[in-house]
Structure 1
């Protein structure tokens, strides 16, 4: 990133006063102490993340964040402080939510910008050296992305300021998003939603004409006009959709997540392409960016990938006082029962929770065998594409299918967010904290997946065209095997 562009004097920008809304009776230091107590008592992986060897490091981190909580004066800042506390654990299953009783805190900032002047100064101030700067559009909004002159901490690098909007809640000159440089064309982003509440997310400028903001979508560059704009393929156009496309008769199955559709939807895709899949030498299953959801979503795919039974570790629970109550309520509700009815009708299971309160309880100490009801001979081989954005049940998918003789995993290590699961939400008043209550396996201390992830069979740099490389590699692999 050209640091010169971050600090250019932007003489026609002025920043208006910002008046954040503070929820009543919400002291960040009090919320912080409650959050620390909740994680230390209830977070299933706490005893693995904080050990005798690193407890001093944890306590020093906790003290620093406590000081920041003491200084916090707004809900927005307080949430950032709580999230900084969670960074010690490096676990994507830990997060902070706005409580239902919390008044959302809108963020409004005005930057005086004249479009004609912005265009006139574009070359004078060397904006052309950074392809991010310019005029962009998505849906109701047209924005100018420019260097920021706001001296907030941490100091942001760029802002997207509204030039036009058909949303009556938004006026010209209001900041639509803030960008903080990560590396290259990757950014952390504070995105102001339609009602001006803030969504913390990330984004990447995929090429000169496309800025993709996670969970929001793609912004298109209007000016300066992008020459020879790349025409997207069917796979690129449908990248966020569950679908099967074909690359020279090679089936390409895209599974963007495991939460937004039911297993039946995935099953319908597989059935519609069943005959062509079985006749293929190999197929591609792309789960890059899959942040997880329900394991059941990918079950219709397993008959095409597995070659026999697979082994899975026994799961367990951290039965703290809060977790035990939560799990009993959850298991009772899943059976359509009250807690009293559950205690009577599922007496053995209920007693298991009560009698093991205060311990890490496992249903077994070893492994169990999973066998798919149906296993198909075709395709001969399967490519699975992964990256560092594959989380949770995306990782259990990789863990399962990589035991198959026909599967080869390409890409980068997965995220490493799977050793703890079954998230419990605990309301602290101003915020709700979420953390895992369960364990993936009895041996996670000796054989952890968090935070390292699951390594691919064939590592391919994220700078490489992973799909193209994997197809070439698999073609060569099959050719070598046929000799």
Structure 2
């Protein structure tokens, strides 16, 4: 059953990128026209919010883009324009050519501490009797950073880095002494404000989306901090038997390319899962992917038939190119190619219409086996869950075994199946959606998100979420 289309190709050829500056008005007009004519959610939101509000929004945007000459500023304003329709399920990405032009034109230089001595700093650390602050040596995604307090602030100084542009002694970030804000230096050494600093346990430090793990001084930290670091840095799914009553699994992505890794992990853990009363599935930072990647998880949750509402696709000449592309993909088998070819022909005959290519409005999952274990399943969710992950959540909510923990999801599911279009100037890619769920308007998810059964408030730090979920599952098991 085709429910989510395979990874897609850009629909325009990339043109030459001449300079770091851009014609933002021209880019805005192209994005506006492309979105109005092709996005599956455009007409629905326009009807909801009204033409007058839309025209006012367009007028304000036009005044802003006429004054913008820098690409980064332009893309931010284009994002603000699309947010009239939804907060997510669209994307603007600079092309490699544009990034190269920006880097060539950039004149930022690293802030370097030539006096810093790693050896002296390690000797200094060895003399500290207690760990009272964040001074130490930390690692992040293959790079190491020394954090030293100097002149009332903490400086993160590069010791080694994966990126060749970074050299030993370059300042990676500066954090204020109160650990509430600071400054990071990006790959082009441009400064960026850090809005949120979090110290989790004694071994994990998070600066917005940058996460570090303490290497020196060594600490025997709690399992929660270690798990949280793995969750935030994992590039593949992982799992293990956490204790005598709980199996823990983290799914980092439902991308089609990740299906094999998910299936392999579940196969390796199968006997453990079906002989253990509790299962925790951690979906933090799992942003979406393909429905086929969730198939092997469903049997562990299943207690009764599960219904999934289908989607319909918007037919336009631009959108329909993707079906032709898919029918010619070398990695698709003959049956898939024929299926996509038939869809392409159908869509061409229905230009300007929404088309249900599935032949039914609802798909129902019926399984023969209901596992005795796990008896209780806790699924951890938060605001960085979108798209297919939310589809999985809607399906899992129908199980009598499942409870959800965390915060509400991001809300990007009503319109979906993003495809790419490259701007005429060749400096960015715009992704929009070509399908609309048959759930709307009765059961919307976009912008509202899906709420957990157990809201984990700010007094429960994220490195304690798994512990808290495990505790509640054990209470539930004892109650039965």
TM-score range, shorter chain: 0.7 to 0.9
Instruction: Map Cα deviations across residues 214-243 of structure 1 (whole Å, 9 max, x no partner).
Output: 776426497xx89x7735456345433422
For 2:8, the equivalent position in structure 1 comes to none
| 2:227 equivalent to 1:235 | yes
SS in 2 for 1:479: helix
* Aligned partners of 2:113 and 2:171 also within 8 Å: no
For 2:75, the equivalent position in structure 1 comes to 79
* Alignment map for 1:448-463 (pairs within 5 Å): 448-463=444-459
| 2:282 equivalent to 1:266 | no
Hey, what's the Cα distance between the residues in 1 that align with 2:174 and 2:428?
Answer: 23
Instruction: Map Cα deviations across residues 164-186 of structure 1 (whole Å, 9 max, x no partner).
Output: 55665335786646999xxx958
For 2:19, the equivalent position in structure 1 comes to 23
Worse-superposed segment, 85-94 or 366-375: 366-375
For 1:170, the equivalent position in structure 2 comes to 166
Hey, what's the Cα distance between the residues in 1 that align with 2:369 and 2:70?
Answer: 56
Q: 1:112 to 1:378 in 2, by over 3 A?
A: closer
Hey, what's the Cα distance between the residues in 2 that align with 1:250 and 1:136?
Answer: 30
Instruction: Map Cα deviations across residues 357-384 of structure 1 (whole Å, 9 max, x no partner).
Output: 1112224574221234754332222111
For 1:371, the equivalent position in structure 2 comes to 366
For 1:427, the equivalent position in structure 2 comes to 422
Q: 1:401 to 1:371 in 2, by over 3 A?
A: same
Q: 1:32 to 1:109 in 2, by over 3 A?
A: farther
TM-score by length of 2: 0.74
Structure 1 alignment gaps of length 5 or more: 1-20, 117-129, 148-157
* Alignment map for 1:74-473 (pairs within 5 Å): 74-104=70-100, 105-106=102-103, 107=106, 108-111=108-111, 138=140, 139-140=142-143, 142=145, 162=157, 169-170=165-166, 176=172, 192-193=186-187, 204-207=197-200, 210-212=204-206, 217-218=211-212, 220=214, 230-232=221-223, 235-236=227-228, 238-239=230-231, 240=234, 241-259=237-255, 262-333=258-329, 335=332, 349-363=343-357, 366-372=361-367, 374-428=369-423, 429-439=426-436, 441-464=437-460, 465-473=464-472
Instruction: Map Cα deviations across residues 301-351 of structure 1 (whole Å, 9 max, x no partner).
Output: 2111112321111211011221122233334537568x9x96xx8775344
SS in 1 for 2:319: helix
* Aligned partners of 2:65 and 2:74 also within 8 Å: yes
* Aligned partners of 1:304 and 1:377 also within 8 Å: no
SS in 1 for 2:66: helix
Note the C-alpha offset of 1:191. Answer: 5.6
Hey, what's the Cα distance between the residues in 1 that align with 2:441 and 2:181?
Answer: 33
Hey, what's the Cα distance between the residues in 2 that align with 1:211 and 1:268?
Answer: 31
Q: 1:74 to 1:294 in 2, by over 3 A?
A: same
Q: 1:137 to 1:265 in 2, by over 3 A?
A: closer
TM-score by length of 1: 0.74
SS in 2 for 1:376: coil
Hey, what's the Cα distance between the residues in 2 that align with 1:30 and 1:355?
Answer: 32
Q: 1:336 to 1:197 in 2, by over 3 A?
A: farther
* Aligned partners of 2:241 and 2:272 also within 8 Å: no
SS in 2 for 1:39: helix
Q: 1:237 to 1:174 in 2, by over 3 A?
A: closer
* Aligned partners of 1:22 and 1:74 also within 8 Å: no
Q: 1:177 to 1:283 in 2, by over 3 A?
A: same
Structure 2 alignment gaps of length 5 or more: 1-16, 117-131
Hey, what's the Cα distance between the residues in 2 that align with 1:328 and 1:203?
Answer: 45
SS in 2 for 1:368: strand
Aligned CA RMSD, in angstroms, stands at 4.2
Hey, what's the Cα distance between the residues in 1 that align with 2:342 and 2:241?
Answer: 49
Note the C-alpha offset of 1:287. Answer: 1.3
Hey, what's the Cα distance between the residues in 2 that align with 1:25 and 1:257?
Answer: 35
Q: 1:37 to 1:179 in 2, by over 3 A?
A: farther
SS in 2 for 1:323: coil
SS in 2 for 1:379: coil
Q: 1:453 to 1:145 in 2, by over 3 A?
A: farther
Q: 1:270 to 1:172 in 2, by over 3 A?
A: closer
